[in-house]
Structure 1
Amino acid sequence: MIGTAFSLLIGLMALSLPVAAALGLMGYILSQKYAFFPLTGALGELAWNTSNDFILIAAPMFIMMGELMHRSGMSERLFSALAPWFARVPGRLIHTNIAASAIFAATSGSSVATAATIGTVAIPNMDKGGYNPPLFLGSIAAGGTLGILIPPSINMIIYAVLTDTSVAQLYAAGFIPGFMLAGLFSLTVFAVAIWRPGLAGPAGETAGLWPRRIAGLKHLVPPLGLFLTVVGSIYIGIATPTEAAALGLMATLGLVAANGQLTLPVLVRAFEGTVRTTCMIMLIIIAAFFLNFVMVSIGLVKAVTDSVLSLGLPPTAMLLAIIAFYLILGCFMETLSMMIATTPVVVPVITAMGYSPIWWGIIFVILMEAALITPPVGLNLYVVQSVRGRGPFSDLCIGALPFVGAMIMMIGILIAFPDLALWLPSLLQPNK
Structure 2
Amino acid sequence: MIDFTGATIGFVLMLGMMALGLHVAVAIFLTSVLGAIVYFGPGLLDTFATQLWAVMNDFILTAIPLFVLLGELLMRAGVTQRMYSGLSTWLGRLPGGLLHTNIGASGLFAAVSGSSVATAATISTVALPELRARGYNERLVLGSIAAGATLGILIPPSVNLIIYGALTGTSIGQLFAAGIVPGLLLIGLFMLFIAIISVLLPGSAGALDEAAPWSEKMRSLRHLVPPLSIFVVVMGAIYTGWATPTEAAAVGVLMAVALAAMNKALSISMLHDAFLSTVRTTAMILLIIIAAFYLKFIIGILGVPQAMTSFVAAMDLTPLGFILVLVVFYLILGCFIETLSMMVGTIPIVFPLVVHMGLDPVWFGIFLVLMMELALITPPVGMNLFVVQGVRRTGSVVDVFYGIIPFVAVVLFAVALIVAVPGIVTWLPYRMF
TM-score (norm 2): 0.97
SS at match of 2:241: coil
Is the Cα contact below 8 Å between 2:186 and 2:414 reproduced in 1? yes
Q: Provide the C-alpha distance between the structure 2 equivalents of 1:309 and 1:213, rounded to a whole number of angstroms.
A: 58
**Residue aligning to 1:85:** 90
Is the Cα contact below 8 Å between 1:59 and 1:154 reproduced in 2? yes
Is the Cα contact below 8 Å between 2:92 and 2:100 reproduced in 1? no
Q: Provide the C-alpha distance between the structure 2 equivalents of 1:39 and 1:380, rounded to a whole number of angstroms.
A: 39
Q: Does 1:161 align with 2:172?
A: no
**Residue aligning to 1:353:** 357
Give the superposition deviation at 1:270: 0.8
Q: Does 1:259 align with 2:231?
A: no
**Residue aligning to 2:120:** 115
Q: Does 1:25 align with 2:61?
A: no
Q: Provide the C-alpha distance between the structure 2 equivalents of 1:190 and 1:33, rounded to a whole number of angstroms.
A: 57
Task: Spell out, residue by residue over 1:287-308, the C-alpha distance to the aligned partner (whole angstroms, 9 max, x if none).
Answer: 1111111111111222112212
**Residue aligning to 1:365:** 369
SS at match of 1:79: helix
Q: Provide the C-alpha distance between the structure 2 equivalents of 1:234 and 1:223, rounded to a whole number of angstroms.
A: 17
Is the Cα contact below 8 Å between 1:373 and 1:381 reproduced in 2? yes
* AA matched with 2:111: A
Task: Spell out, residue by residue over 1:386-431, the C-alpha distance to the aligned partner (whole angstroms, 9 max, x if none).
Answer: 11111110111111111111111111111111111111111111xx
Give the superposition deviation at 1:51: 1.4
Q: Provide the C-alpha distance between the structure 2 equivalents of 1:33 and 1:263, rounded to a whole number of angstroms.
A: 54
**Residue aligning to 1:100:** 105
* AA matched with 1:379: M
Unaligned runs of 5+ in 1: none
**Residue aligning to 1:391:** 395
Superposition RMSD on alpha carbons, in Å? 1.2
Q: 1:208 to 1:170 in 2, by over 3 A?
A: closer
**Residue aligning to 2:226:** 222
Give the superposition deviation at 1:37: 6.1
Q: Provide the C-alpha distance between the structure 1 equivalents of 2:374 and 2:418, rounded to a whole number of angstroms.
A: 15
Q: 2:145 aligns with which of 140, 149, 152?
A: 140
**Residue aligning to 1:284:** 288
After TM superposition, list the pairs within 5 Å mapping 1:21-420 onto structure 2: 21-35=26-40, 38-201=43-206, 203-206=207-210, 208-420=212-424
Give the superposition deviation at 1:167: 0.1
Q: Provide the C-alpha distance between the structure 2 equivalents of 1:293 and 1:416, rounded to a whole number of angstroms.
A: 34
* AA matched with 1:351: V
Q: 1:208 to 1:422 in 2, by over 3 A?
A: closer
Instruction: State the identity %.
Output: 49
Task: Spell out, residue by residue over 1:315-356, the C-alpha distance to the aligned partner (whole angstroms, 9 max, x if none).
Answer: 211211111111111111111001101011111111211110
SS at match of 2:243: coil
Give the superposition deviation at 1:261: 1.6
Instruction: Answer with 149-158 or 297-306: which moved more.
Output: 297-306
SS at match of 2:43: coil
**Residue aligning to 2:3:** none
Is the Cα contact below 8 Å between 2:94 and 2:208 reproduced in 1? no
Instruction: Answer with 210-219 or 95-104: which moved more.
Output: 210-219
Q: Provide the C-alpha distance between the structure 2 equivalents of 1:421 and 1:375, rounded to a whole number of angstroms.
A: 28
Q: Provide the C-alpha distance between the structure 1 equivalents of 2:16 and 2:219, rounded to a whole number of angstroms.
A: 56
Q: Provide the C-alpha distance between the structure 2 equivalents of 1:387 and 1:61, rounded to a whole number of angstroms.
A: 26
Aligned residues: 428
Task: Spell out, residue by residue over 1:14-69, the C-alpha distance to the aligned partner (whole angstroms, 9 max, x if none).
Answer: 22101111111111111111236632111122122111111111111111111111
Give the superposition deviation at 1:207: 5.2
* AA matched with 1:287: A
Q: Provide the C-alpha distance between the structure 2 equivalents of 1:117 and 1:48, rounded to a whole number of angstroms.
A: 36
Q: Provide the C-alpha distance between the structure 1 equivalents of 2:212 and 2:241, rounded to a whole number of angstroms.
A: 43
Q: Provide the C-alpha distance between the structure 2 equivalents of 1:38 and 1:383, rounded to a whole number of angstroms.
A: 44
Q: Provide the C-alpha distance between the structure 1 equivalents of 2:204 and 2:150, rounded to a whole number of angstroms.
A: 22
Task: Spell out, residue by residue over 1:67-116, the C-alpha distance to the aligned partner (whole angstroms, 9 max, x if none).
Answer: 11111111111001111112211111111000000001110111111111
Is the Cα contact below 8 Å between 1:84 and 1:209 reproduced in 2? no
Q: Provide the C-alpha distance between the structure 2 equivalents of 1:124 and 1:137, rounded to a whole number of angstroms.
A: 12
Is the Cα contact below 8 Å between 2:155 and 2:183 reproduced in 1? yes
Task: State the 4+ residue runs in structure 1 displaced beyond 6 angstroms.
Answer: none
Give the superposition deviation at 1:233: 0.6
Instruction: Answer with 77-86 or 299-308: which moved more.
Output: 299-308
* AA matched with 2:161: M
Q: 2:17 aligns with which of 12, 15, 22?
A: 12
Instruction: Answer with 102-111 or 36-45: which moved more.
Output: 36-45
Is the Cα contact below 8 Å between 1:305 and 1:345 reproduced in 2? no
Is the Cα contact below 8 Å between 1:23 and 1:288 reproduced in 2? yes
* AA matched with 1:70: M
Q: Provide the C-alpha distance between the structure 1 equivalents of 2:19 and 2:421, rounded to a whole number of angstroms.
A: 38
Is the Cα contact below 8 Å between 1:71 and 1:269 reproduced in 2? no
Is the Cα contact below 8 Å between 2:289 and 2:344 reproduced in 1? yes
Unaligned runs of 5+ in 2: 1-5
